Structure 1
Amino acid sequence: MTEPDDAVPLRRRTAHALDLMAFSLADVRDGLGPFLSIYLLVTHHWDQASIGFVMALGGIAGVIVQTPVGALVDKTTAKRALVIAGAVGVAVAALAMPLLPGFYTIAFLQAVTGIAGSIFSPALAAITLGIVGPRLFSRRVGRNESFRHAGTAWAAVVAGGLAYYFGPVVVFWLLAVMAALSVVATLRVPGDAIDDDVARGMDKATSGQHRGPSGFGVLLHNRRLMIFAVVVFAFHLANAAMLPLVGQKLALHNKEVGTALMSACIVAAQVVMVPVAYLVGAKTDSWGRKPIFLVGFAVLTVRAFLYPLSDNSYWLVGVQLLDGVGAGIFGALFPLVVQDVTHGTGRFNVSLGAITSAWGVGASLSNFVAGGIVVAAGYSVAFMSLGAIAALGFALYLIAMPETATGTDSGPGVFALPHRRQVQRDAVVGGELVEDLDGKV
């Protein structure tokens, strides 16, 4: 079949737009995170329990809407519009926080950020799957995650440098800028490049025939998905509070450069995450999901027990490098495991939303529980408690979760050119044309 002359440039342009989306949505999806923790601690002198509460509130708000958002992503053909709406919501909340720094306004704006941020993971995953199809999804997700971590590292470097001169308030402005960039990137993805049936996890052969459960019914009818939800909950219950706690320790000992040191922690981890995510995306189909995921849990456990050994800034930043391994593995495998266990159901995004809800509950409780432990027993006990949770998660995954990689040969999704003309068996993975689906580029 002869391709249109503009086919390859269009695919490359779409691939680069996905790269830019992943890069710019990194900070927009996660919100202010530990930077907000430092800002409230150093600038407004909040205690750790209050900080933990508002940090948890944003996560809880996101959890409440996450599964309905996933269902909406499954059903709608306006996936790009959803991303843009979420980015605008995050930008408005970020700009309002330093102007309205009261407890209730910060809590409300954190909830807005959590709700808006719930859109990005399922929407980006759906757009990616709808463009490249299931056969190339692993490689493209690995690339997405690499660009996401690069975006987080870049934003952290810029935030740290600007905060040194202008104070911690600069992170709010930077988040708004990244949100605007994500809008530009989203608009560069051609709407007709997305196959909406493939984007929701449907087999082309069964499209229009399958009727599956929706919402949390997906979890109740899929044992592997339910186990994975518990595993994800445990991972983030252990992981989410670690970086904010490290940031607080650094800020308490180095108040004038607390934000810059937090940036160093983030950059240290993200620099490691970029190659880890890319490697996982390239090798997970041959190595399997389970052994790689177990490595992520093991590294998370070790990291938690290393933090209490010293308060030295260089030690804390050095230990944070291990976050790059654990989080890099998780980020690359998370959507792949969900796609594995929901393939052909047409419920990929609602399932992704449900599992992301488990992620959000774990992360929210992590900040809340860890903040309370710090107030009652100190930072060292908090870190070791989080490490014990990570060890339990490792054991659960080892014993209860089967390998999900199947090596399915169901074929790629259609990279739809204008008027949905199907071209040769190819899809966008990077900036290149993939013609051999067995891995040759």
Structure 2
Amino acid sequence: MEDKTRSLAFLSLLCFGLADVRDGLGPFLGVYLQGHGWTADKIGIIMSLGDAMALLCAAPLGALTDHTRAKRAILAAAAVLITLACGALFLSAAPLAVGVSRCVQAVAGAAVGPLIAGVTLGLVGQDGLPSRLGVNEAWNHAGNAASAALSGLVGWYYGIVGVFWVMAAMAALSLAAVLGINGRQIDHQVARGLDVDASRPPLAPRRGFPPRSLWAVALTVGLFHFGNAAMLPLLGQSAVTRFGSNPALYTAGTVIVAQATMIVAALLASRLAVRRGYGALFLLALCVLPVRGLVAGLYASEWVLLPVQILDGVGNGTLGVAMPGLVARLLRGSGHINLGLGFVMVAHGIGAAMSHAYAGYIAHLFSYETAFFALALAPCVGLVLYIVSLRRFPDLHRASQGEGHRA
């Protein structure tokens, strides 16, 4: 068997570098535009425009990943496009220029997830996927934590332009990592899910795609992020409003605690996936999130940051391993694994987008505590939906099981 150790090492490095690149300037974009006279409503519109573009392109980009053999080249192009689009913002902060830049970033960023999943599956196959997904997630979260710390330090001395140079350095690291992966070692048939019976034609998207079991996974993921996405921003707003916390330091603390926990959670989740299956990870993530909401709502203290963000790390760390793994196993043999992953990411995006408006409205009408409780309800609905789906769809039940639980 061909030794893929070098390619897998560079894949880890790629996950580390792209963790920063795929989000562009991230939360620093709003601060930069604010410094150029943009009001909060206009910043919100431009951010929403990018989110909408990412949602529209997620499934088509997944389909492209299934059909192309140039996955490494597209990953490199995405990193370059995001960097150039962010750099263009420093040349002009006019609405048209910012709008185009944001759309380019969003579309290129949306391509990264399916492409990384495709390259990973093509390198390790279905049997090696559970453990490898944990490694990918750990390096991804390590990249997020490292870039956040470095961006904060450089930005302190050089302003937002320093954050851009950190991102550009991460992009250069990503390009080097892409070149280090041996393209000949990527099995593109396996990468799209045709490793069971390569002689069988792919399942036609118009005739049975997406299957109902994938709809159940997508809705479950959407409900998870509907309850999860707004909890961190709401936690920061609550701390500043109720306790007068320093917003920059408190937000940084929430990110660091969560990312550090996610690294550990992702590595442990990959081991659990082998023994118990992806279904166990889904159930764990769905059970942790309501507890997180209850803790945030019941305990009025700045130090609630620690348990709430540790639980966030557990929930997101396990779901980050479970979701792509379950989709890959569920659609094995279809030839459309990455299209399916893009489809689920659309549900993820819709749930996250709705979460902020929902939580903000509840907090405005009632209180932050009520908003936390309201957010905790969504994953409970997702938990019921997933359990019912396991009973109703045999293919989902089989895909959710670990290797040791297969008949």
TM range, smaller chain: 0.7 to 0.9
State the Cα deviation string for residues 317-345 of structure 1 (Å, max 9, x = none): 55222210000011011111101210111
**2:195 counterpart residue number:** 203
The 3 A distance-change label for structure 1 pair 58 and 372 is: farther
What SS class does the counterpart of residue 87 from structure 1 fall into?
Answer: helix
State the 1:358 CA deviation: 1.3
**2:393 counterpart residue number:** none
**1:419 counterpart residue number:** none
The alignment of Structure 1 onto Structure 2 pairs a total of residues equal to: 398
Distance 2:250 2:92 in 1: 26
State the 1:308 CA deviation: 4.1
AA matched with 2:253: A
Identity %: 36
AA matched with 2:386: Y
Q: State which of 7, 11, 35 in structure 2 corresponds to 1:14.
A: 7
**1:423 counterpart residue number:** none
Q: State which of 177, 182, 187 in structure 2 corresponds to 1:190.
A: 182
Contact 1:216 1:354 in 2 (8 A): no
**2:167 counterpart residue number:** 175
**1:24 counterpart residue number:** 17
Structure 1 gaps of 5+ residues are 410-441
Contact 1:27 1:178 in 2 (8 A): yes
State the Cα deviation string for residues 22-56 of structure 1 (Å, max 9, x = none): 11111223444444456667886844x65554443
Q: State which of 395, 398, 411 in structure 1 corresponds to 2:387.
A: 398
AA matched with 2:267: Y
State the 1:262 CA deviation: 2.4
**1:58 counterpart residue number:** 50
State the 1:71 CA deviation: 0.9
AA matched with 2:108: A
Q: State which of 339, 363, 366 in structure 1 corresponds to 2:328.
A: 339
AA matched with 1:210: P
The 3 A distance-change label for structure 1 pair 334 and 155 is: same
Q: State which of 177, 191, 203 in structure 2 corresponds to 1:212.
A: 203
Q: TM-score, normalised by structure 2?
A: 0.86
Distance 1:237 1:107 in 2: 26
State the Cα deviation string for residues 261-313 of structure 1 (Å, max 9, x = none): 32321111111111111111122121122232122112212222333456754
The 3 A distance-change label for structure 1 pair 190 and 104 is: same
**1:427 counterpart residue number:** none
**2:216 counterpart residue number:** 227
Distance 1:407 1:396 in 2: 21
**2:107 counterpart residue number:** 115
State the 1:16 CA deviation: 0.8
RMSD: 3.1
The 3 A distance-change label for structure 1 pair 311 and 155 is: farther
Distance 1:298 1:353 in 2: 25
| Bigger RCO (CA 8 Å, 6+ sep) | 1
Q: How does 1:266-305 map to 2 (within 5 A)?
A: 266-305=255-294
Distance 1:154 1:305 in 2: 30
Contact 1:37 1:248 in 2 (8 A): no
Give the stretch that moved more between structures: 180-189 or 125-134.
180-189
The 3 A distance-change label for structure 1 pair 143 and 64 is: same
Distance 2:364 2:23 in 1: 25
AA matched with 2:251: M
Structure 2 gaps of 5+ residues are 391-395
Distance 1:88 1:256 in 2: 38
The 3 A distance-change label for structure 1 pair 175 and 239 is: farther
Distance 1:355 1:15 in 2: 26
Distance 2:233 2:373 in 1: 15
Contact 1:56 1:363 in 2 (8 A): no
**1:438 counterpart residue number:** none
The 3 A distance-change label for structure 1 pair 314 and 162 is: farther
Contact 1:27 1:151 in 2 (8 A): yes
What SS class does the counterpart of residue 198 from structure 2 fall into?
Answer: coil
The 3 A distance-change label for structure 1 pair 330 and 43 is: farther
The answer as to 2:261 corresponding to 1:262 is no
State the 1:141 CA deviation: 0.9
Distance 1:216 1:385 in 2: 38
State the 1:73 CA deviation: 0.7
Distance 2:101 2:239 in 1: 26
Q: State which of 80, 85, 92 in structure 2 corresponds to 1:88.
A: 80
What SS class does the counterpart of residue 202 from structure 1 fall into?
Answer: coil
Give the stretch that moved more between structures: 182-191 or 297-306.
297-306
Q: TM-score, normalised by structure 1?
A: 0.80
State the Cα deviation string for residues 221-250 of structure 1 (Å, max 9, x = none): x12111001111111122122223334556
Distance 1:110 1:254 in 2: 35
AA matched with 1:304: G
Q: How does 1:131-146 map to 2 (within 5 A)?
A: 131-146=123-138
**1:324 counterpart residue number:** 313
State the Cα deviation string for residues 200-219 of structure 1 (Å, max 9, x = none): 11025x21432312389621
The answer as to 2:233 corresponding to 1:244 is yes
What SS class does the counterpart of residue 400 from structure 2 fall into?
Answer: coil
Distance 2:341 2:320 in 1: 13
